Amino acid sequence: MSRTCLAVILAAGDSTRMKSSMSKVLHPVAGRPMIAHVMQAVVGAGMGDAALVLGRDAEKVEKAAQIGGINTSSFLQTERLGTGHAVLAAREAIAKGYDDVVVAYGDVPLITPAPFAAAREKLAEGADIVVIGFHTDKPTGYGRLLVENGELIAIREEKDATEQERKVTWCNSGLMAINGAKALELLGKIENKNAKGEYYLTDLVEIARATGGKVVAVDAPESELTGCNNRAELAYIEKLWQERRRHEIMVSGVTMIAPETVFLSFDTQIGQDALIEPNVVFGPGVTVEGGAVIHAFSHLEGAHVSAGATVGPYARLRPGANLGAGSKVGNFCEVKKAEIGEGAKVNHLTYIGDAFIGAHTNIGAGTITCNYDGVNKHETRIGADAFIGSNSSLVAPVTIGDGAYVASGSVITDDVPAEALAFGRARQEVKPDRAKLIRERALALKKARSGK
């Protein structure tokens, strides 16, 4: 769409019902602040500029809204005098002259670009005001959209509605699009002659019609327009987001055995023919390529899993974990900031951090890379086709060459050349009958202490 558009994002609420130490719109959904989800939908609908109307935690909210792809300006709303007053806090931005002005809310994170695009299309066709509504089988408490001959004639609040009007199931979401050429003129006519003394954006319907303007409504799914006022509603919104994204991913060719137990992040990417077992959590920044398997009870964040690799069960991939094609990170393993080469195996009960593991190397059970000296982190480098025996401690910085072999139970503090065998453990000694002597001494001590 070639028309210019300004999105006015209302995010100045005090979040009283949220009972939170931070602004409501900063609370995350799928690992991303609510307002960032709204901004993503705005960008997707082709809007090039946004005016943020801010209040509490203004600087933090402004930062959270910076997602790229859109120019933003911020305006502080110092008084709370209704939605119409809030929009006019961005008067300076509106006055720059846009074809379209779209009003959105920072606490409606499930919104997609489609309703915004539909509203803008109606503006392009000549409407002055476009209200975004939704159909629901539970309309109680919502303002009803009253339509005649294709035009919206009123938004009737429930307390003012007749019995017949209350049967209407098309309801007002609060989101609206305004003819940019008339926006300031129309907004300036909103009055506060009501019980609360506030300026209501919904009055634009009557104001525009009174001046001969055209007012229409467009429909959007109820779930996309779900707002958030408290922690229970936040959990419900998270549930809806997860259901929607899981469905999209499964339709794209990913298998989830128990999708309701898998939790995705806003940027999770999973390739075709990947398999996700139950009870897997994806934090931000995860890519899983096609054919990979994520076994049950694994947690991934900031990680890349290449094609055909397997993870878990009960594995943790932390930021910087990069698994090569066909590699394996097994049960009760943790990988952080490490490259796991093609076909390499980190089978079980192992910690790999700040490391490079070459192709087809085998890391035995219980191996740890000792990467932290109390002040700094150090790197462990292991070449291709090496074998690290079980219960080995690799004290970084250390390098183990291609094809090298580290004996089980070793503590490795020096570099191991390629194809070499390294032992880093004390020689075993056996003391005949010593176990019996130790046990007898322990029993004698116990009796002495008990006085028996």
Which residues does the annotation mark as catalytic?
A: 348
447 vs 210: CA distance, rounded Å: 100
DSSP characters for 135-165?
A: E-S--TTSPEEEEETTEEEEEE-GGG--TTG
407 three-state secondary structure: coil
Q: Per the annotation, does 157 bind a ligand? A: yes
Q: Per the annotation, does 345 bind a ligand? A: no
Q: Per the annotation, does 104 bind a ligand? A: no
79 vs 260: CA distance, rounded Å: 43
Q: Per the annotation, does 325 bind a ligand? A: no
Q: Per the annotation, does 408 bind a ligand? A: yes
CB half-sphere exposure, 249, CA atoms < 13 A: 30
Q: What angle do CA 275, 277, 280 make, to 5 degrees?
A: 110
Q: Per the annotation, does 351 bind a ligand? A: yes
Residues 99 and 4 sit within 8 Å (Cβ to Cβ): yes
Taking residue 69's Cβ as centre, other Cβ atoms within 10 Å add up to 11
Q: Per the annotation, does 214 bind a ligand? A: no
Q: Per the annotation, does 57 bind a ligand? A: no
Residues 329 and 353 sit within 8 Å (Cβ to Cβ): no
Residues 244 and 224 sit within 8 Å (Cβ to Cβ): no
Q: Per the annotation, does 365 bind a ligand? A: yes
Q: Per the annotation, does 380 bind a ligand? A: no
Q: Per the annotation, does 143 bind a ligand? A: yes
Q: Per the annotation, does 405 bind a ligand? A: no
What are the distances in angstroms from CA 370 to CA 338, 377, 396, 417, 427? 13, 9, 6, 19, 23
Q: Per the annotation, does 7 bind a ligand? A: no
Q: Per the annotation, does 224 bind a ligand? A: no
426 vs 448: CA distance, rounded Å: 36
Q: Per the annotation, does 279 bind a ligand? A: no
Q: What angle do CA 56, 58, 64 make, to 5 degrees?
A: 115
Q: Per the annotation, does 376 bind a ligand? A: no
Q: Per the annotation, does 424 bind a ligand? A: no
Strands (E) in 290-379, as ranges, are: 293-294, 299-300, 304-305, 310-311, 316-317, 321-323, 328-329, 334-340, 345-346, 351-357, 362-363, 368-370
54 three-state secondary structure: strand
What lies within 8 Å, CB to CB, of 363 at 6+ separation is: 344, 345, 346, 347, 350, 352, 357, 382, 388
Rounded to 5 degrees, φ, ψ at 422 are -120, 130
Q: Per the annotation, does 402 bind a ligand? A: no
Scan for tokens 């990417």, then name that residue: 269
Long-range contacts, stretch 143-146, CB < 8 angstroms, 24+ apart: 143/171, 143/172, 143/202, 144/168, 144/170, 144/171, 144/172, 145/170, 145/171, 145/172, 145/217
129 vs 418: CA distance, rounded Å: 74
Q: Per the annotation, does 13 bind a ligand? A: yes
Q: Per the annotation, does 112 bind a ligand? A: no
Q: Per the annotation, does 12 bind a ligand? A: yes
User: Binding site residues for Mg(2+), as ranges?
Assistant: 107, 229
Binding-site positions for acetyl-CoA read 365, 371-372, 390, 408, 425
Residue ranges at the known binding site for UDP-N-acetyl-alpha-D-glucosamine:
10-13, 24, 77, 82-83, 105-107, 143, 157, 172, 229, 318, 336, 351, 362
Binding residues: 10-13, 24, 77, 82-83, 105-107, 143, 157, 172, 229, 318, 336, 351, 362, 365, 371-372, 390, 408, 425
